[in-house]
Amino acid sequence: MMQVISFVTQKGGSGKSTTAASVAVAAFEEGRRVFMLELDKQGTLTDWTESRAAEEGPEFERIDSTMLEKAISTLKEAGYQLVVIDTPGADNPHINAVMRVSDFCLIPCRPTATDLKGCLPTVQSLIRLDKPFAFVLTQCPPRSGRVDEARAGLAALGLIAEPPIVSRADHQDAMAAGMGVTEFNATGAAAFEIRQLWNWIDHKLQPKVKKNVKAA
Ligand SMILES: Nc1ncnc2c1ncn2[C@@H]1O[C@H](COP(=O)(O)OP(=O)(O)O)[C@@H](O)[C@H]1O
Ligand SMILES: [Mg+2]
């Protein structure tokens, strides 16, 4: 079965591309056949792919949103297990098309009032489309009350993915090197958090199995 996740929010700089790349690589490292689609004309991930030296990893293509449905069905036929979509920082009809083809959407959000506010139109679109989604707190200061405040603000709006992604140079350096953080510094804290985040997402993607609860 192929599953599609997308990183969406009109707020630029929230960490869509950075988080998408590292999550895609982490899923690949765990044995998934992963394809990344970039719908952003800015081409952050195109640049990332071009700097990439690793022989193995997720496949990649930048496409126009008009090609999205065709691309998804082609990838399904080709046997990919996970598609990770990165989107531009704009709220336009193309993003709705992305949401529609996604099984689960992730909204990266920095723990600031402007980012929280900036998420709202995206949340409204997702609710309208009845799409499962979660916030990913990104670029968080380590050990700060800000993260708890943001968590409290977002909890009223939807699920929050775990763990919050702390602001770390590894993320920036990995992007510049064309790597996921788990490749760039496999034993670092950033890599650890991204693996946990992928596992959290993966868990949400699993079809719900009815638990047969037995008395102990
Ligand atoms: N967890 C992180 N730690 C440090 N820097 C980050 C992190 N996530 C993103 N960044 C930086 O923030 C900036 C915006 O990230 P980017 O992924 O390009 O956002 P978007 O795709 O939403 O516009 C980039 O300079 C990136 O290196
Ligand atoms: Mg981007």
Query: What's the Cα-to-Cα distance from 127 to each of 37, 93, 100, 158, 207, rounded to whole Å?
Result: 23, 15, 12, 10, 20
Q: What is residue 211's predicted lDDT score, i.e. its pLDDT? A: 61
106 forms bridges with which residues in the sheet?
7, 134
Q: Nearest CA to 22 among 171, 188, 165?
A: 171
Instruction: Name the pLDDT band for 209 (thresholds 50, 70, 90).
Output: low
For ligand 1, mutation pick of 8, 18, 144 (most atoms within 8 Å of CB):
18
**Arithmetic mean of pLDDT over the chain:** 94
pLDDT at 57: 97
The model's pLDDT over 61-76, given as tens digits with 9 standing for 90+, comes to: 999 999 999 999 999 9
Question: Which listed ligand is nearest to 110 at the C-alpha?
Answer: 1
Residue 147 confidence (pLDDT) above 60: yes
Q: Is 87 in the pocket of ligand 1 (CB under 6 A)?
A: no
Neighbour order of strands in the sheet with 3-7: 59-62, 34-38, 82-86, 3-7, 104-109, 133-137, 159-160
16 lines ligand 1 (CB under 6 A): yes
Question: What is the atom index within ligand 1 of the atom nearest the CA of 138?
Answer: 1
Pick the CATH number of 3-205 from 1.10.10.10, 3.40.50.300, 3.40.225.10, 2.40.10.330: 3.40.50.300
Distance (Å) from CA 139 to ligand 2 centroid: 14
The reported pLDDT for the residue numbered 6 is 98
pLDDT tens sequence across 83-129: 999 999 876 778 999 999 999 999 999 999 999 999 999 999 999 99
pLDDT at 206: 84
pLDDT tens profile 150-178 = 999 999 999 999 999 999 999 999 999 99
Residue 192 has pLDDT above 80, yes or no: yes
Ligand 2 centroid, distance to 2 Cα (angstroms): 24
Residue nearest atom 9 in ligand 1 by C-alpha distance: 15
Is the beta carbon of 110 within 6 A of some atom in ligand 1? Answer: no
Q: Whose CA is nearest to atom 23 of ligand 1?
A: 13
